[in-house]
Amino acid sequence: MQRRNFLQSLASVPLITSANIAKTNPIIKPARLKVGDTIGLVCPAAPAFSKEAVKITAESLQALGFKVKYGKRMWERYGYLAGKDTDRAADINEMFADSSVQGIVCVHGGWGCARVLPLLDYETIRKNPKVIVGYSDITALLLGIHAQTGLVTMHGPVGSATWNEFTVKHFRSVLMNGEATLFENPKVMGDNLTLVNDRVSTINGGKTKGKLLGGNLSVLCHLLGSKYIPDWKNSILFCEDIQEAPYRIDRMITHLKLTGVLDEINGFIFGKCTKCDVGNGGFGSLTIEDLFEDHICPLNKPAFAGAMIGHITDKFTIPVGIEAEMDADKGTIQLLESAVL
């Protein structure tokens, strides 16, 4: 009898979803970055193992015309983390509070950003909106800050990324020029008879509009059910990952399905899954293409894969929280407004 009463009480408990946990905040756009601005460098996850890598980061940003300021604790190390949680959070909070800093670039991903989410000063962030950019584990910061404050955050290069022509072009377009950017994969055939690299694969054709939300798939899934995830309703979900076997990608997309995320979105964009092939010993494995057939095709919503989003050399800078239109047949993403003021 006690067990029956317990089960009945569970049935009356509402499901924990992003829709009933995430705050609804008005969109806050950061000011665009300008030549002469100061960029704050922080390590919110993995430590700065290489001083040379940090120096290359600083020199790359200086080549773009920025000044650079290091977080006070960016050289700290606590195992696989860049210092204790309180230290990493303090560097982020101080960069937002510092009126001499106009933008924040995360030097590395790794792991650890989710650990600092409860320690961030969201009121200070809301009152001092700034560009913050990164990818991979930085997804936790991008989604958590956006969910808690409404600030448009930027899924783009970390400091230690390759600041090549393609990456810089999109960084400038979105964050410095404030353009309603069209994101489109390069079409470089070389001496091949057809396009071989950076191809786009249409999963479900069509166009749709919605608010861009997403990031690293693994990190995103581990935030589901928390207050650090935005409301997915009428959004375009973009995601990417690295070194994940197909069965783990299957598990994560199934997680999105079971939590109702895939029901709420208007469209789906999968970037690159770097080193996610079946590989040796994978006989009989499902492929990622099979997973799209199983999970994404039945949604009957526009969807495509192959966008320049992920652990790759050539990267888009995708604003989290900005309205866009995706064309799944062409494999393009068109911002419908500027991401910055």
The catalytic position among 108, 146, 170, 311 is: 311
Entry field: residues in the chain: 341
240 is catalytic: yes
295 is catalytic: no
**Token duo for residue 42:** 């922080």
How far is the C-alpha of 217 from the C-alpha of 36, rounded, in Å? 35
Phi, psi of 231 (to 5 degrees): -75, 125
Give the amino acid at 85: D
Residue pair 317/155 in contact by the 8 Å Cβ criterion: yes
What is the Cα 124 distance to its own chain's centre? 22
The catalytic position among 18, 60, 108, 136 is: 136
| CA angle in degrees (0–180, nearest 5) for 338-340-341 | 100
How far is the C-alpha of 267 from the C-alpha of 161, rounded, in Å? 28
The catalytic position among 108, 218, 240, 295 is: 240
108 is catalytic: no
Instruction: Provide the annotated active-site residues.
Output: 136, 240, 311
